[in-house]
Chains A and B, each alone.
Chain A
């Protein structure tokens, strides 16, 4: 069984982004870019399934600019066997529906048993791509996974939901999106980084897959959120209780 793992190149989670002064977006020039943390968990899970003998091949995919190659190399350093870059122009805003369509075309071509994606990207916080892909490919889905167990032609997935956990059984092929507690991705070692450089990386264009990637939502502006000023430091618990009762009046 093949596993397809889509990965996204995003602003590193430690970077606090700044809104551009002309309100056209956030300033990502010269900031550190990394693999979306949830996608790293997805790659790790796929590689572990291969190490357990459940999967035979792990294919990493990224849709975006040429620099996404670095993200794919990271995926291969974790253990993916090969990679596909769907390269799009730098001035194109690639939105979840378009990515889902690109991935759907690759699913049709590669016929993976599982597609494991991060539940959301930490830049646009959309939380859509996995579910959209599942719908387009007519596959069952288990989002927000905290445990994945393959048993024959089924996969049991435990999901993090409001109020607790639930377990679903899906027929394979299926789409899974990862939550934080699924696993802890391994550190990438230098020998594996070197090895990843030699693994195959294929580049295709959206036209090759017959997908229209034009954005459907128009971003009119991007602005700073309302600032929340720091309040006061109180000296002790009594002062805190007093403030809460008489000033804030919340208790």
Chain B
């Protein structure tokens, strides 16, 4: 049994989600290989070789793989899929994009967003926004899996000494092309990897207020910023800050929810956080039902006060 982990990377370095995925792959059993499919991604491949528990890194490099186009990434995975019992992607935007293409071409079911490995063929995964946990068993020869990273610890970034094997890159599909991207540059920790998250809801009232009130708190705590769907829909925060069933799933040590009422779709994205703080002036807000510490207060008063006392 050997599992292939598809690395999430930016060609220079390996993204954190890869590390949790390696842990899940190791639990499923057998050796773990990592595929780094990218462009000028030698540094990322070298970093992957250092990850504890990885026995081989496979590096495919071409311009067609520069932007993680699903068609090309899936073709690259399929070129080597025959050697593996498990093909494991992180449940990131990139992993969720490519994994089902691989599963469909192999004519196997995909097991999405596993949160626990029971055995080599049996896994737990949340359904209905995490309101139920399904235990599913796959009879397919190859298990194609995406991993909910909050369910697994990160593998150590050092301690491994895997060999890096270079393989030929698959040809470009020619059917899709990368035009451009707008990636916000930020010194903050990544939302899905942050130890502390400060998150805001519709009560903030405007993007100016969102920034003015929450940014200093995030700065003080060294936290990432998140938002509820209502705040994102209203334009107070960018879409990639959305925490919830259909946004980012997070599980930091501390989650500070400011002016978030706590719709089930939002709770689905953050209820595995270790400590949850809710600041809300509505005593009936559902967020209080999951908060370890609830503060019934006007956030525009409480948050500045919190900053001054930290």
Interface residues, chain A, with chain B CB atoms under 8 Å away? 11, 13, 16-17, 19, 26, 38, 95-97, 100, 119-120, 122-136, 139-144, 146, 156, 159-171, 174, 179-181, 215-225, 228, 230-234, 236-238, 240-241, 243-244, 248, 250-251
Q: Is B289 positioned at the interface, with any CB of A under 8 Å from its CB?
A: yes
Inter-chain contact B105/A135, CB cutoff 8 Å: yes
B224-256 CB contacts (< 8 Å) to partner A: 229, 232-233, 238-240, 242, 245-246, 248, 253-254
In contact, A123 and B246 (Cβ under 8 angstroms): no
Stretch of B31-39, B43-51, B67-75, B160-168 on the interface side: B67-75
Contact partners of A225 in chain B: CB under 8 A: 126, 130-133
Assess the A231–B176 pair: CB atoms within 8 A.
no
With known contacts A166-B178, A233-B294, A161–B93 Cβ distance under 8 A: yes
Is A220 in contact with B291, judged by CB distance below 8 angstroms? no
Partner of B139 from the list A19, A127, A216 (CB cut-off 8 Å) is: A216
The contact of A140 among B134, B176, B289, by CB within 8 Å, is B176
- With a cutoff of 8 Å between Cβ atoms, the chain A residues found around residue B196 in the complex are 250-251
CA–CA, A210 and B177, complex, Å: 33
Please give, as numbers and ranges, the residues of chain B lying within 8 Å of A160 by CB-CB distance: 93, 239-240
Q: Are B132 and A219 in contact (CB under 8 A)?
A: no
* Min CB gap B152→A, angstroms: 16
A169-B179 contact given A225-B126, A244-B254, CB 8 Å threshold: yes
CB pair B131–A17 under 8 Å, yes or no, is yes
- Residues from chain B with Cβ under 8 Å of A220 in the complex: 122, 135-137
**Do B138 and A217 touch across chains, with their CB atoms under 8 A apart?**
yes
CB contacts (< 8 Å) of B111 on chain A: these are 217
Q: Mark B99-130, 1 if CB is under 8 A from A, else 0.
A: 11111110111111100000000100011111
Question: Complex formed: what's the CA distance from A38 to B176 in Å?
Answer: 23
A96 near B137 with CB under 8 A, answer no
* Assembly CA distance A187 to B240 (angstroms): 27
Q: List 6 A-B contacts (CB under 8 A).
A: A17-B131, A97-B109, A160-B239, A181-B232, A217-B111, A224-B133
- CB of B176 within 8 A of CB of A216, answer no
Chain B contact surface mostly: mixed
Q: Known A-B contacts: A132-B103, A167-B180, A248-B293. Give 17 more (CB < 8 A).
A: A17-B128, A125-B112, A128-B112, A135-B104, A161-B94, A162-B248, A164-B238, A166-B179, A168-B177, A171-B174, A217-B136, A217-B138, A218-B139, A230-B291, A231-B294, A250-B275, A251-B196
Residue of B97, B173, B178 touching A131 (CB-CB under 8 A): B97
- A128 contacts B309, C-beta separation under 8 Å: no
Pick the interface stretch among B19-27, B54-62, B181-189.
B181-189
Complex: how many Å from CA A95 to CA B180?
Answer: 34
Task: Return A20 CB to nearest CB of chain B, in Å.
Answer: 9
Contact for B245 among A125, A136, A233, CB less than 8 A: A125
Out of A11, A97, A144, A171, which one reaches B93, CB within 8 Å?
A144
Question: Considering the chains assembled together, what is the distance between the CA atoms of A130 and B104 in angstroms?
Answer: 11
Give the most central of A119, A132, A146: most B CB within 10 Å: A132
B208 adjacent to chain A (CB < 8 Å):
no
> Which residue from B94, B105, B135, B238 sits with its C-beta under 8 Å from A221?
B135
Contacting residues, chain A, for B179 (C-beta < 8 A): 156, 166-169
Residue from the set B134, B138, B233, B305 with the largest chain A CB neighbour count within 10 Å: B134
Instruction: From the candidates A168, A181, A218, A234, name the one contacting B176 in the complex (CB within 8 A).
Output: A168
Q: Please name the residue on chain A nearest to B178 by beta carbon.
A: A168
Bound-state CA distance A19–B179 (Å) is: 45
**B288 CB–A CB distance under 8 Å:** yes
Asked if B81 lies at the interface with its beta carbon under 8 angstroms from chain A, I say: no
A187 to chain B, nearest CB (A): 17
Q: Which B residues lie within 8 Å of A97 (CB)?
A: 103-104, 107-110
Q: Is the CB of A230 within 8 A of B110?
A: no
Which residues of A are found within 8 Å of B74, using beta-carbon distances? 135
Ordered nearest first, which 3 A-B pairs have the shortest CB separation? A131-B100, A231-B292, A216-B109
Contact of B133 (CB < 8 Å), options: A126, A133, A222, A243: A222
Among residues of B, the one whose C-beta sits closest to the C-beta of A248 is B275
Question: What 0/1 readout, one digit per residue, does chain B (280-294) give for beta carbons within 8 Å of chain A?
Answer: 000000001111111
**Cβ of B102: which chain A residues have Cβ within 8 Å of it?**
135
Query: Within the complex, which residue of B233, B265, B290, B295 is in contact with A181, where a contact is CB–CB below 8 Å?
Result: B233
Contact of B239 among A96, A169, A181 (CB under 8 A): A181
Q: Cβ of A217 and Cβ of B109 under 8 Å apart?
A: yes
Q: Which residue of B lies closest to A120 (CB)?
A: B246
